[in-house]
Amino acid sequence: MRLQGLVGVFLMVLLLATVAQAAEVKDYSAAIRVFKSSDVVQPFFENSYGYVVFPLVGKAGVVVGGAFGIGQVYRNERVTGKAYLTKLSLGFQLGGQAFSEIIFFEDQRAFDEFTSGTFELDASASAVAITAGAQAQVGSSGTSVGASNGPTTGIQFAGNYVKGMAVFVHTKGGLMYELSVGGQVFSYEALGY
């Protein structure tokens, strides 16, 4: 039992270090380039109303887990504001992981819903991973998984929005086994021009 406690402390320290790194990200263009290099994701840049990108999301947990990331929201390739991603989860989970995430908005309704203040992805939202062997779970409940042969080859994916949103992740590192409840919650802060 003592080993589990030490592992839990280690993973929470890992999460806090990743959160500190996420808070320091200034250049979002590298993450955007990774997503644009995917044949699966590229059409969304051309056809979406807008998007939000999180260059670094850190996730860790031992039974109780959490995730955090800071992103930028774009409309017509211009930054409209900042977004903050948080997730708390309870259930069987073990490990830590770092990934990038992008959410495309199909139309103004979806964009406005996300930027209205606080927004939570529900169970019908799924993420498609664009890194070989990666797994992703997004939503208030349930599990969704996607995989590919790599960022440039993509996967066979219909490219449909669910409730006006399409979510993609790119795993940067780590390993996490998770079976939990809870969803990603986002808050939005408009730029004060």
Residue 153 pLDDT > 50 = no
The 10s digit of each residue's pLDDT in 154-180 is 444 456 888 898 888 888 766 655 533
Q: Terminal CA-to-CA distance of the chain, rounded, Å? A: 53
CB atoms within 10 A of CB 55: 25
Write out pLDDT tens, residues 72-131: 999 999 999 999 988 877 666 667 777 889 999 999 999 999 999 888 877 555 667 775
Would you say 151 and 134 are in contact if contact means Cβ atoms under 8 Å apart? no
Instruction: Give the pTM.
Output: 0.72
Do 136 and 54 form a contact (C-beta atoms < 8 A)? Answer: no
The answer to whether 127 touches 121, Cβ cutoff 8 Å, is no
Two tokens, residue 108: 């103004």
Which residue do the tokens 């992981």 mark? 97
Indicate the average pLDDT of the chain. Answer: 73
Nearest of 45, 53, 98, 49 to residue 71 by alpha carbon: 53
Round to whole Å and give the CA distance between 107 and 105.
Answer: 6
141-155: average pLDDT: 38
Query: CA torsion sign, 87 to 110 to 134 to 77?
Result: negative
**For the segment 15-57, what is each residue's pLDDT rounded down to a tens digit?**
555 555 555 566 799 999 999 999 999 999 999 999 999 998 8
Residue 190, CA distances (Å) to 8, 68, 116, 182 in order: 36, 19, 10, 26
Residue with tokens 């887990």: 65
